[in-house]
């Protein structure tokens, strides 16, 4: 079966619409959203409404967690004072525009979704999280120490761990105790950070041969799609949001 996974839309409606147009013809059997629907652009309510309208199962991202609780903290790890100042404006703006019903939706989203398969008389657990299984805002970068990554996955009983949050897609296969573990960062629909401004998402292929002892039996397809970046960037510039967010969209 073909499972589409997407996340980190960040209130970018043109990117979300382009994602739907791209994913529909690929006919996935299921679609899951790994959170961060809001923040950094002007369409948080519209993005929430589009995802709800389609009944797409969705988990909470750190930004959603903050906005759902009307908090001024999005749990984001801003590095510089400038980034912190920009971040403050973004979360204040988002708190102001998100409506009650949409906020209630964000507040009651699950933190994780776990799918437990039983194929080839063996279990195969797929865990969907936003940041890490331990914390909604923990960044799991590709260069993380192998032992640490394995420990996180073993503790969470996850053979396949899919997550977003860093906006930098990768698929890393680790091995321990004669089994393979798949760590998959699915990238970002609406705010890519890998120097490619196109939106990104993942198609995960699970079939009757899929097992934790066969490395190639779980396939991950990274898809990139063009969208109207200018429209999304201009929307930022015409709003109270810092113009820096528009440049980030243009440059990925």
Q: Which residues in this chain contact another protein in the complex, by CB under 8 A?
A: 1, 27-32, 52-53, 55-58, 104-105, 107-119, 126, 206-208, 210
Identity of the residue, 131 or 192, whose beta carbon is nearer to another protein in the bound complex: 131
- Nearest approach, Cβ of residue 119 and another protein (Å): 7
Distance CA 72, CA 89 (A): 10
Identity of the residue, 117 or 139, whose beta carbon is nearer to another protein in the bound complex: 117
- Nearest approach, Cβ of residue 204 and another protein (Å): 12
Tokens of 140: 């799991």
Identity of the residue, 88 or 112, whose beta carbon is nearer to another protein in the bound complex: 112
Partner residues linked to 32 by β-bridges: 5
DSSP letter at 209 equals T
Closest CA to 57 of 97, 100, 131, 7: 7
- Nearest approach, Cβ of residue 162 and another protein (Å): 14
* Cα–Cα separations (whole angstroms), residue 243 to 45, 197, 234: 21, 16, 9
Helical packing angle, 229-237 and 244-251, nearest 10°? 170
Identity of the residue, 80 or 118, whose beta carbon is nearer to another protein in the bound complex: 118
- Nearest approach, Cβ of residue 134 and another protein (Å): 11
Closest CA to 200 of 173, 244, 168: 168
Contact 91, 67 (CB under 8 A): yes
Distance CA 183, CA 144 (A): 11
- Nearest approach, Cβ of residue 247 and another protein (Å): 34
Identity of the residue, 189 or 249, whose beta carbon is nearer to another protein in the bound complex: 189
């Amino acid at each position: 079966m073909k499972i589409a996974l997407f996340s980190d839309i960040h209130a970018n409606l043109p990117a979300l619409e382009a994602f739907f147009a791209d994913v529909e013809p690929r006919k996935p059997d299921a679609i899951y959203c790994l959170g961060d629907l809001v923040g950094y652009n002007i369409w948080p309510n519209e993005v929430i409404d589009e995802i709800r309208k389609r009944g797409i199962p969705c988990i909470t991202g750190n930004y959603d967690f903050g906005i759902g609780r009307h908090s001024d903290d999005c749990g984001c790890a801003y590095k510089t004072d400038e980034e912190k100042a920009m971040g403050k404006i973004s979360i204040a703006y988002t708190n102001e525009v998100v409506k009650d019903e949409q906020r209630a939706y964000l507040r009651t989203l699950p933190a994780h979704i776990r799918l437990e398969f039983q194929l080839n008389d063996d279990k195969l657990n797929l865990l969907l999280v936003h940041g890490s299984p331990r914390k909604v805002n923990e960044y799991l970068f590709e260069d993380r120490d192998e032992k640490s990554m394995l420990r996180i996955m073993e503790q969470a009983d996850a053979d396949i761990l899919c997550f977003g949050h860093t906006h930098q897609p990768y698929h890393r296969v680790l091995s321990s105790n004669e089994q393979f573990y798949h760590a998959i960062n699915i990238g970002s629909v609406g705010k890519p950070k890998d120097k490619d401004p196109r939106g990104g998402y993942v198609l995960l292929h699970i079939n009757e041969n899929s097992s934790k002892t066969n490395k190639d039996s779980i396939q991950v397809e990274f898809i990139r799609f063009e969208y109207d970046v200018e429209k999304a960037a201009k929307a930022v510039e015409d709003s109270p949001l810092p113009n820096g967010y528009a440049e980030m969209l243009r440059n990925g």
